[in-house]
Structure 1
Amino acid sequence: MKAKSEKRVSLYLELFLLLFLAGAVSLLFFVGFRFVIEQQIDRYHQNKNIVHKYNEKYISQIQDYITAQGISSKDLWRLNEWMNNNRLIYIQIKKGDEWIYSSDFDMDEEQADGYDLPSYPLDSYYNIELRDGTVQVFIMGMYSYNAYMAALIFAIIASFLLFFVLTMLGVRRKILYVNQLSQDIEILEGGNLEYEVHVQGKDEISDLAAGLNAMKVSFKNQIEEVECLTRTNQEMVTEISHDLRTPLTSVLLYAEILLNGKYGEEENKQKYLNKMIKKIQHMKDLSDRLLAYSVHSAEEKYIPAGYVPLHSGLYDEISDMCSYLAEQGLAVKENLRWKEGDVFIYGEYLTRILDNISSNILKYADVQALVLVWDEYYADEMCITFENVCGQKNSSMDSYNIGIRNVKMMMEEMGGKCEVVQDREQFRICLRFRYKKSNRKTENFF
């Protein structure tokens, strides 16, 4: 979403600026258009030939009116009716050297003697016939007035249309953007959460578009989170279900030994019972963890791992594993030195890791070949390696892949590594634990 510090322009301000700009452009157009047109009108009506044509036109109309009305020099006031209908025309009439009529005001013979009307060039007068003789008429008119008015009306209409067009173009841009947002929303409704909503401008509509993008990202993240939780939950159920199989197999084996009385000496009976209890407790822990995970699957995973003495932390588990493999008919050769030091482990994970490895060895190892187990020590880690020859069993590889994946995952969560080397003849798995040297004597951890 856009930064809040970025200045936003309100739609109200945008509309005001649009109207102001359209009005200013229209006003400039109006003034410029009128100036140009009036210049052309003035230039046209300053032509003497044009003025002469207008004068002759109106003189002819005055002559026709006088003839029709039978007007004489004594009743020139009757011309006022014609003048009222032609207010853009001004005339003066004189008889000889005496002015007898002016369209600006009424005058009689006595009044005419008191007025000193200006004289005009001889070519400015036109003769007309009254009922009682010939008189001279001076005429002039605002012949460009109609052209001015037509130009004014046209300029007003054109300016208004320009204002309307500019305003509509500005509004149309926003309408097109709203239509674009509508199309973007339809695409999002179709499920395409990768689509980016167009953000244009800095107003309320652009804020809405940015909000849609933010909502889309949030919704997408929520979907991905739900999918991740679901996938993780399924993987966890698969892992624990897989890990339950090995201790269950061990319990069945020990139960069969006890049932058939193959445990040898009496003290071995208690030994097998203890192993069964331990495996059953391990199965219970796994099932409890599965239940807890299903209830709290959204919580962050935490394992209570820590440094424990190497001998007490690993010895019993490795020994039990080797004994279990031997009881299953495999020959196990150990080369374990158990040096002094502390190893970083989580007991439940260690049990599950060794159960997975023993399960894979039983399924895929050649029973006629040795199973080798040895340890190696470095500055900050120790390694326990299991190696066996691959047999020709046709067991499904799905279980194998799940087991190895579980081992790698649990080793990584304990800060270690799991390295697997396999070809058609040999299988080797190395468990690398975090390790630190210690000078204390060996302690019994269990």
Structure 2
Amino acid sequence: MKAKSKRGVSLYLEWFLLLFFAGILSILFFIISEFVIEQQIDRYYENRNIVKSYNDKYITKLQKYVIRQGISSEELQRLDEWISHNRLIYLQIRKDGKWVYVSDFGMDEIQSEDDDFSLYPSDSYYDIELSDGTVQVFIMGMYAYNAYTIALAVNIIASCSLFILITMFGIRRKIRYINQLSRDIEILEGGNLEYKVLSQGNDEITNLAKGLNAMRVSFKNQIGKAECLTKTNQEMVTEMSHDLRTPLTSVLLYAEILQNKKYEDEEQKQKYIDKIIKKIQFMKDLSDRLLEYSVCDEEKEHMQAEYISSHKGFFDELSDMCHYLQERGLKVKANMQWKQGQMLICEEYLIRILDNITSNILKYADTEALVFIWDEYYEGEMCITFENACTNHNGDTDSYNIGIRNIKMMMMEMNGRCEVIQTPERFQVCLRFQYKKD
């Protein structure tokens, strides 16, 4: 049984869409958060009081460095070393109205004394003491740079974390589904084939779940068929084993007659021998079929029924049955019309049916009462009825039930019917065969 499913979304496409969606959200988060953070940083460092506090801090450090190094106005280039350690600071130094040092330019690029210095904020000018006098210093710093750098690093980490979280959330759903499938498979391994594997989504994993369900149903059906076949074979073995008992009893009876020489002449002796051979051959055929059923795993083949003359098909077997019952001390009264026509029978089934009826009569019939046998004809049907009085003792009911079940089964195989009427005093079996007139 093959699982059929519509073409679904590939896991590759699902993962791609998940990563794409996570990437878009992470980028949007990065852009928005970066914009907001930069706005906050800019607003913070636009405050002149904040800027002045940073300027004061670095001017103090510069003054200490100048005093420690003993720098004069002629040695201002030595400040480059301090600038190299404070890269965020920009310095301009003026002496006697002229720029004598600029941290970003050489001395030949320094502005002239005619430049307009009023453009710079006044709180950015400080006086510092050199070894040979006082100079005016203009200081400016990119104090927000560190904040921008830290904010960028934090924003990158947060965006990457968001990307990972979204991706892990999508993967987690699939992992939970896979774990659920694993638990479902363990339940199936435990033998519970009624349990349905969870099927959700429309991808390769879903197809796997549907395949497991299809396999579960197929395996369940196969087990059901195997159990049914085993049960059928067991029933067949039981039925045939039961059917072997009556002909075996007949063989023993005829053998005792021959052993005790209770025959009138050689012709009757040969007749008993022929009956023994016939019964043994029937038992052999039945045992061969029993072996065939017990070792074969295929479904049983039905015996083929065919139309034959009612007199030819039934007379000999019914005569043997009556004779055998009489040998066992029963009184039989057969009232057969034997109208011209054909009945649908299978010879092997017919022998087994009469043997089962014979066995039941011997077990349950009152030996002092008559056993009646008669035939009746209807449109398309021939009915042969066996009736006997019952004794009061309880017999082997299991054997009785098996025998009746066998008779009904074989009559159905021949497209006929078996009707049983039973009261405490009387027992009647009616065999209805398909019949057509000549």
Sort the TM-score into its range (normalised by shorter chain). 0.7 to 0.9
1:112-191 matches, cutoff 5 A: 112-113=111-112, 116=115, 119-120=118-119, 123-131=122-130, 135-191=135-191
Displacement of 1:114 after TM fit?
7.5
CA contact (8 A) 2:390 2:425 kept: yes
Q: What residue in structure 2 maps to residue 42 of structure 1?
A: 42
Deviation at 1:295, TM superposition (A): 4.8
Q: Which residue does 1:315 correspond to in 2?
A: 315
Please say if residues 418 and 432 of structure 1, whose CA atoms lie closer than 8 Å, have aligned partners that are also in contact.
Answer: yes
Equivalenced residue count is: 437
User: Counterparts of 2:426 and 2:37 in 1: how far apart (Å)?
Assistant: 103
Cα distance per residue 1:385-408 (max 9 Å; x no partner): 323232123332221122112112
Structure 1 letter corresponding to 2:119:
Y
How far off its partner does 1:353 sit? 0.5
Note if contact 1:70-1:130 (Cα within 8 Å) is conserved in structure 2.
no
| Aligned-residue offset at 1:208 | 5.2
Residues 125 and 136 in structure 1, CA contact (< 8 A), matched pair in contact too: no
- CA shift, 1:221, in A, is 4.9
- In the superposition, the TM-score normalised over structure 1's length comes to 0.82
Deviates more, 1:397-406 or 1:217-226: 217-226
Q: Is the 8 A contact 2:310 2:338 kept in 1?
A: yes
Structural mapping, 1:287-302, within 5 Å: 287-302=287-302
Instruction: Give yes or no for contact 2:376–2:384 (8 Å, CA) kept in 1.
Output: yes
Q: Secondary structure at the match of 2:355?
A: helix
Structure 1 residue 67: Cα displacement:
4.2
Matched residues in 2 for 1:37 and 1:112: separation? Answer: 37
Distance 1:48 1:341 in 2: 129
Q: Please tell me whether the aligned partners of residues 99 and 117 of structure 1 are also in contact (alpha carbons under 8 angstroms).
A: no
For residue 357 of structure 1, report the CA deviation from its aligned partner. Answer: 0.9
The residue aligned with 1:395 is: 395
Query: Whole-Å Cα distance in 2 between the matches of residues 243 and 376 of structure 1?
Result: 27
Which amino acid letter does the alignment assign opposite residue 89 of structure 1? I
CA 1:287–1:4: 2 relative to 1, 3 Å: closer
Unaligned runs of 5+ in 2: none
Cα 1:432–1:141, aligned 2, differ >3 Å: closer, same or farther? farther
SS in 1 for 2:242: helix
Matches within 5 A, 1:260-275: 260=260, 262-263=262-263, 268-269=268-269, 271-275=271-275
Name the structure 2 match of 1:369. Answer: 369
Letter in 2 for 1:120: L
Residues 53-100 of structure 1, C-alpha deviations (whole Å, 9 max, x = no match): 333333333344344444455444333332222222223344565444
Local SS of the residue matching 2:107: coil
1:387–1:428 contact (8 Å) kept in structure 2: yes
User: Residue 88 of structure 2 aligns to which amino acid in structure 1?
Assistant: L
Task: Classify 1:136/1:189 alpha carbon distance in 2 versus 1 (closer, same or farther; 3 Å).
Answer: same
Relative distance call for 1:59 and 1:297 in structure 2 (3 A) is: closer
Q: Is the 8 A contact 1:382 1:432 kept in 2?
A: yes
Distance across 2 between alignment mates of 1:43 and 1:2: 68
The residue type equivalent to 2:421 in the other structure is V
CA–CA separation in structure 1 for the residues paired with 2:47 and 2:385? 117
Q: Kindly indicate whether the alpha-carbon contact (under 8 Å) linking 2:97 and 2:113 is maintained by their aligned counterparts in 1.
A: no
- Report how far residue 34 of structure 1 moved: 1.9
1:225: how far off?
Answer: 4.6
Secondary structure at the counterpart of residue 284 of structure 2: helix
Q: Which moved more, 1:346-355 or 1:71-80?
A: 71-80
1:64 and 1:74 mapped to 2: Cα distance?
A: 18
1:127 partner amino acid: Y
> Are 1:63 and 1:128, in contact at CA under 8 Å, matched by a contact in 2?
no
Q: How far apart are residue 123 of structure 1 and its match?
A: 3.6
Whether the aligned pair in 2 keeps the contact of 1:2 and 1:210 (CA below 8 Å) is: no
The 5-angstrom pairing of residues 29-428 of structure 1 reads 29-95=29-95, 98-107=98-107, 112-113=111-112, 116=115, 119-120=118-119, 123-131=122-130, 135-199=135-199, 212-213=212-213, 216-217=216-217, 219-260=219-260, 262-263=262-263, 268-269=268-269, 271-428=271-428
- Asked whether the 8 Å contact 1:363–1:393 carries over to 2, the reply is no
Stretches of structure 1 that go unaligned for 5 or more consecutive residues are 441-446
Identity of aligned residues (%): 65
> How far apart, CA to CA, are the structure 1 residues paired with 2:25 and 2:422?
82
Give the whole-Å Cα distance in 1 for the aligned partners of 2:38 and 2:430: 101
| Partner amino acid, structure 2, of 1:309 | S
**Offset at residue 363 of structure 1 (A):** 0.3
Residue 263 and residue 31 in structure 1: after superposition, are their counterparts in 2 closer, same or farther (change >3 A)? Answer: same
Give 1:149 shift.
0.6
Higher mean C-alpha deviation, range 143-152 or range 79-88:
79-88
RMSD: 3.5
Change (3 A) 1:26 1:287: same
